[in-house]
């Protein structure tokens, strides 16, 4: 959901620049900065952005520049003269030095600049600003689309890697069960003068091995991998759904790890977890 878009539209002697940037967020969090004279259309600007974006921490800024040389903005000389006279009188009465740089002092007063710009914008200026907002939002979406294609490739690689690791699990399953059975039998043999019912032992071992069976986990994980890819390619706003699917994938991988009782199989599980964590981090960037 990260992205940036900007657009410039000029109307008569004014240039309107709109910049929109977005970061990750679970819902739409939109803030805006616009000049005072344009507050009346701020809601319209926000509505345009909201029509394009569903999630993200979004910041929109509007900059207005005067492009003509003659301008409606000029120094308020009478006010500057008044401020200078008062500062000189205060300097004399308080016994402090007058400023060396008069311009830097006088230009700090809020009435130092006089503007003849109307307090309210007209319909043509309003249309120009909203046009800039729409264009900036479109560029932001194009930026996001390009980032989305990179994410699609990233997710595909990670899912394929988990699938490959899952394909390696059966290599160790028979060996794992043999080791478990051998370990139990050797443990019983190490106990002196112990007598046990071999038929009952077989039943208990079958029950124990069934508890460690991971066929269901493998099957469900495979289904989650396929569903993740189907959802990824379906289009639309799928970020939350992909997040839910990745959580389910994590449950199956964790259960396989807790049942594995085999060093090599646990290494595969750790590698799956690593791939899955990368997926979870990037899912936050998906709308």
User: CA 12, CA 262: separation in Å to the nearest integer?
Assistant: 75
Domain of residue 19, CATH code? 3.30.230
Low-confidence ranges of the chain (pLDDT < 50): none
Check if the beta carbon of residue 55 is closer than 8 Å to that of residue 135. no
Are the CB atoms for 15 and 43 separated by under 8 Å? Answer: no
Tokens 């394929």, located at residue? 160
For 91-118, the pLDDT digits (tens) are 888 888 888 888 888 877 767 766 555 5
Of 277, 54, 32, which is closest to residue 144 (Cα–Cα)? 54
Residue found by looking up tokens 């932001």 in the block: 140
Q: For 155, how many CA atoms within 13 A lie in the half-sphere containing its CB?
A: 28
Containing domain of residue 87, as a range? Answer: 73-115
pLDDT of residue 188: 66
pLDDT score recorded for residue 110 = 67
What's the distance, Cα to Cα, between the start and end of the chain in Å?
6
Residues 79 and 40 in one domain: no
Same domain as 177, residue 235:
yes
**pLDDT tens profile 52-95:** 888 788 999 998 887 765 555 677 888 889 989 999 998 888 88
203 and 265 in a single domain? The answer is yes
Cα–Cα distance between 139 and 156 in angstroms, integer?
A: 26
The residue out of 140, 174, 196 marking a domain boundary is 140
| Number of domains forming the structure of the chain | 3
Q: Are 225 and 249 in contact (CB under 8 A)?
A: yes
Residues 151 and 220 in one domain: yes
């Amino acid at each position: 959901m990260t992205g940036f878009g900007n657009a410039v539209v000029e109307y008569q002697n004014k240039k309107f620049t709109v910049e929109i940037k977005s970061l990750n967020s679970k819902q739409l969090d939109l803030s805006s900065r616009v000049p005072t004279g344009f507050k009346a259309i701020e809601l319209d600007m926000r509505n345009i952005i909201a029509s394009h974006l569903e999630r993200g921490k979004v910041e929109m800024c509007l900059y207005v520049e005067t492009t003509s040389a003659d301008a409606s903005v000029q120094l308020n000389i009478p006010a500057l003269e008044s401020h200078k006279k008062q500062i000189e009188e205060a300097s004399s009465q308080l016994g402090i030095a007058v400023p060396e740089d008069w311009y830097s002092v006088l230009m700090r007063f809020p009435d130092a600049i006089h503007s003849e710009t109307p307090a309210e914008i007209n319909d043509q200026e309003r249309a120009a600003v909203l046009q800039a907002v729409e264009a900036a939002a479109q560029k932001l979406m194009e930026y996001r689309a390009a980032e989305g294609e990179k994410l699609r490739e990233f997710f595909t690689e990670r899912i394929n890697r988990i699938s490959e690791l899952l394909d390696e699990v059966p290599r160790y399953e028979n060996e794992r069960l043999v080791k478990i059975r051998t370990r139990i039998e050797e443990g019983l043999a190490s106990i002196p003068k112990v007598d046990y019912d071999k038929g009952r032992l077989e039943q208990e071992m079958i029950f124990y091995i069934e508890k460690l069976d991971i066929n269901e986990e493998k099957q469900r994980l495979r289904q989650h991998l396929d569903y993740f890819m189907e959802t990824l390619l379906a289009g639309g706003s799928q970020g939350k759904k992909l997040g839910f699917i990745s959580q389910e994938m994590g449950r199956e991988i964790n259960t396989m790890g807790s049942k594995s009782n085999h060093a090599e199989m646990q290494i595969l599980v750790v590698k799956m977890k690593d791939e899955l964590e990368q997926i979870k981090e990037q899912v936050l960037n998906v709308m």
